[in-house]
Chains A and B, each alone.
Chain A
């Protein structure tokens, strides 16, 4: 029997049907939705006053993974805190220094978490403030805690008079060395100046005590900036950019070039995890006992000396300085920020106080555990005063030495390009270190210009 005209007898959908009857209307609708008018869907919410607290869930802190890896006592602190209040501890879904998830939620006036432990002021704090993701701790942090913060650390965490980061873990750029190798090379004293470092490193290489004399982390905030601070800390522009063209910075670059000659050939290579900032070649070399002297934050030599047959060979001391130099270094804290659209803010403050004053955290950090030896230090004056008055039996010699550096250390100023300015400038200053550029002024001017150009392009 013949079919009536127009009757569809084939049950399958043809491509034409799919495109015409479904695709066109849907795509058209999507185009209309995507073309949000200016001030519409793409607009960020305007700043609003701090919200009234709501408590529809337990306190939900989120931590950067490495903090838990290096501080295995944190879960114990959490368990003890749960006895006083419900706690839903989570690991932050971030890679590298990523904050995009937090920003995205804030744009929806929402936050899965109440507090984020893992913020470093010069890295992401400015961005979190600009994007209206976090609010100050001012209304929540107890006054006694505020007064107990070491002043330079409190300054680091303060913007426009408001405390945006509750500091927790302190890192300072110092010098570590393998005393077994330095002794083998006939060196009996700690290098105090950069000339001492270079001479001692050459002696190590010449004597065969180690293949390389010195290693450093090539990222600018871990090497160029602290070496510059050892000369002078007056190296920032009025808008808080690192002044690559300043005389101290150029002197520091020259020190790095001389150290490179006595260092592992791959010392300038990026790391191989976490967007290149971790698992760096200096760590590999020091862990493999291929280099004697090590310029980095204290937790690096501590962690990697733990892999040695005799970790007691590790010595730590202040960052060297040139003759007549200011003798400063760089420090930073990893702290906690309070999500503006989070909940349980009073409890968040109570939690951070409990966590940051916990004696077990500091004992494990300083003396080490079977799984980690980070060596990160507390931010409170009272804790150091207590240790001075009654030194615990687990205290280690390097703590007073490293802490003494804090008196002269300076944080990298908070601004949106606080960290990325060093990423941008690195290819240019490294040309002088590798010999590709013979004039350090030219290399550093190029670095400075590149940063300024990027800042202008980024708006």
Chain B
């Protein structure tokens, strides 16, 4: 009996270890698909491009690539086209970010105040309409809106007499207007999507805080500055970091709406990188990779700064 009990106890221990091992390995199994995708489509390309940036790799050449150390980086840092392109991306980001951050916040605060459920839902639906339109259709729509010859914006401006057919704004051709024009398009496109972020954040703020603040005599501005904004800091951090990255890395819109004219502000560092990698000469992808890494490093520095600015102060 004792042996049976002992045996049972031993088999119970063995079963327990096997079960623990199985439970531990189950976690890994469920992670495998994500890991495969993350490593294969994110980590590996990044490391590959990093390696490429230290070589003289030309995609169209039949010679093996050679290690050149920091030569590509030195050339890129001395390349005025790269710096001009980086600066243009900074300008676009400066135009785009405030609209993408503060306008949705304001709209969310206003929509959050609507107490009538049907009306609140209606506002949310209207705001989300641009978000569900596919990108190519967005470009087609705004390309038509901004068209100098037949677009409705310039047509209305000419009709009102503010401009003539000769002096109407060239939204997609005037170097002073093209970046603001694209920024307006992007803000409109993302307005509803980002408003939902803020609405979710506002829903998490206890109403008691507002009531207590009002009892203490706070006005609307004080409520916003001392109650709402601090509680929205995590949302702000996410949106600012995400949108900073996407704004600096914009390329599709520039290629579709600006082409490869280097005189236009749409010829940014990303377009230059693409041009170098897939169009110019023998496609000097080692150099293009160095341009990409310099831009990425600059962005990482700014992102680190953003994390410090939006750090928790509790």
Contacts and interface: CB of A to CB of B under 8 A. Distances in A.
Q: Indicate, yes or no, whether A interacts with B.
A: yes
Interface of A: 7-9, 11-13, 18, 22, 26-27, 30-31, 33-36, 38-40, 42-47, 96-98, 100, 103, 127, 130-132, 211, 264-266, 268-277, 279, 281, 284-285, 288, 290, 416-417, 420, 423-424, 426-427, 430, 454-455, 457-459
A130 B59 CA distance: 10
Contact of A43 (B64, B168, B257, B287): B64
B262 A424 contact: yes
Question: How large, as a class, is the contact surface on chain B?
Answer: 35 or more
B59 to A, nearest CB: 6
Contacts of B256: 272-276
B27 A12 contact: yes
A131 B60 contact: yes
Interface of B: 20, 23-24, 26-28, 31, 35, 39, 43-44, 47-48, 50-52, 55-67, 75, 79, 139, 143, 147-150, 165-168, 170, 172-173, 255-264, 275-276, 278-284, 287
Contacts of A12: 27
A130 B262 CA distance: 26
Nearest to A130: B60
A266 B149 contact: yes
A427 B262 contact: yes
Nearest to A283: B149
Nearest to A286: B149
B56 A8 contact: no
B51 A275 contact: no
A8 B23 CA distance: 10
Contact of B51 (A34, A47, A290): A34
A276 B258 contact: yes
A38 B168 CA distance: 56
Contacts of A268: 173
B280 A35 contact: no
A265 B149 CA distance: 10
A42 B65 contact: yes
Contacts of B148: 264-266, 269, 281, 284
A134 to B, nearest CB: 12
Shortest 5 CB-CB distances between A and B: which pairs? A276-B259, A458-B281, A269-B173, A427-B263, A43-B64
Contacts of A98: 278
Contact of A454 (B58, B62, B261, B280): B280
B78 to A, nearest CB: 11
A395 to B, nearest CB: 33
Contacts of A290: 149
A8 B65 contact: no
B281 A417 contact: yes
A338 to B, nearest CB: 18
Contact of A270 (B66, B139, B261, B278): B261
Contacts of A33: 44
Contact of B50 (A34, A264, A272, A427): A34
Contact of B143 (A265, A272, A427): A272
A247 B247 CA distance: 44
B47 A11 contact: no
The residue among A96, A100, A130, A266 with the most chain B CB atoms within 10 A of its own CB is A266
Nearest to B261: A270
A423 B261 contact: yes
B52 A42 contact: yes
Contacts of B149: 264, 266, 281, 284-285, 288, 290
Main secondary structure, interface of A, reads loop
B173 A270 contact: yes
Contacts of B35: 22, 26
Contacts of A31: 47
B275 to A, nearest CB: 8
11 contacts: A42-B55, A43-B65, A47-B62, A130-B60, A130-B282, A265-B148, A269-B172, A272-B143, A274-B256, A427-B261, A458-B282
A38 B27 contact: no
Contacts of B280: 417, 420, 454, 458
A416 B173 contact: no
A420 B165 contact: no
A34 B284 contact: no
B281 A270 contact: no
Contacts of A35: 51
A43 B63 CA distance: 6
Given A426-B263, A458-B281, A281 B60 contact: no
Contacts of B262: 423-424, 426-427
Nearest to B178: A269
B175 to A, nearest CB: 10
B281 A454 contact: yes
A423 B60 contact: no
Nearest to B49: A34
A81 B1 CA distance: 86
Nearest to B257: A272
Contacts of B47: 27, 30-31, 34
Contacts of B66: 38
Given A38-B66, A45-B62, A279-B143, A459 B284 contact: yes
Contact of B27 (A13, A30, A45): A13
A38 B263 contact: no
A457 B284 contact: yes
B167 to A, nearest CB: 8
A368 B45 CA distance: 47
